Amino acid sequence: MIVSDLGARLGIVPDFLAAVDVLRGTRMGLYTHEGFDGGGRTLLREITGKASVPCVIPAGYKGSRGDLVFTRLAPSQSLERWFSLTTPYVMAVPRTEWIEYLGRAGAATPPSAYERYMKFGPHPTFWPEYVFQAYVNHRKEAVYLTGIPDRPRSLPHSDPKRLRP
């Protein structure tokens, strides 16, 4: 918001400000890998059950049908495809456990609650802390995570005394 407001006053190129506005509307999300479309793009379906979207994943992650992926997607201008803005985090916890967790966190329904939770979490450092505590391994095209945020003992790098819910 600051970049958009200040940028307009400073005469920053409108196309750049439009791109900033698009990015401002993005958030992390949990997606199920549903294979590939005819153009080689990865089909991802949000855990909340929305339609699959064809995605370009610049990190090179191909994955397998059924993988649960935590990433940030942004639409192309035409909305014909989406782009992963992060190296995908591949989750080692089943989709059902994440849905249960989102229910416990009050983020399962309505859709706006899920979207708000995935963008902001319960506090500003929630998602970066989760990634740090859940880290298992990585390759250049993917980072591997395990554990559920409200189960500190399921997170390989958590200190249960210091974890904030």
| Whole-number pLDDT of residue 138 | 97
Q: What is the pLDDT of residue 44?
A: 95
C-alpha distances in angstroms, 20 versus 12, 40, 51, 117, 161?
11, 28, 25, 21, 38
In a domain, 5, yes or no: no
Measured between alpha carbons, how far is 23 from 162 in angstroms, rounded to an integer?
Answer: 32
For tokens 């059950």, name the residue. Answer: 49
User: pTM here?
Assistant: 0.85
Do the domain assignments include residue 15?
Answer: no
List beta partners, residue 68: 32, 91
Run of H or E residues at 71: strand 68-75
Indicate whether 3 belongs to any domain. Answer: no
Residue 12 lies in a domain: no
**Total domains in the fold of the chain:** 1
CB-side neighbour CA atoms (13 Å) of 125: 5
**Positions in the chain short of pLDDT 50:** none
**Residues 69-91 pLDDT 10s:** 999 999 887 767 889 999 999 99
List the domain range (segments joined by +) for residue 124.
28-148
Which CATH number characterizes residue 107's domain?
2.40.50
Q: Is residue 14 part of a domain?
A: no
For residue 163, what pLDDT is reported?
A: 52
In a domain, residue 63? The reply is: yes
Residue 159 lies in a domain: no
Query: What's the confidence (pLDDT) of residue 18?
Result: 67
pLDDT at 48: 85
Q: Please compute Rg for the chain using Cα positions.
A: 17
**Chain-centre distance of CA 58, in angstroms?**
15
Q: How far apart are CA 127 and CA 11, in angstroms?
A: 34
Q: What is the pLDDT of residue 75?
A: 85
pLDDT score at 25? 75
Asked if 47 and 99 count as a contact pair (C-beta separation under 8 A), the reply is: yes
Predicted confidence at residue 108, as pLDDT, reads: 84
Show the CA angle centred on residue 115, arms to residues 110 and 117, nearest 5°: 95
Does residue 1 lie within any of the structural domains? Answer: no
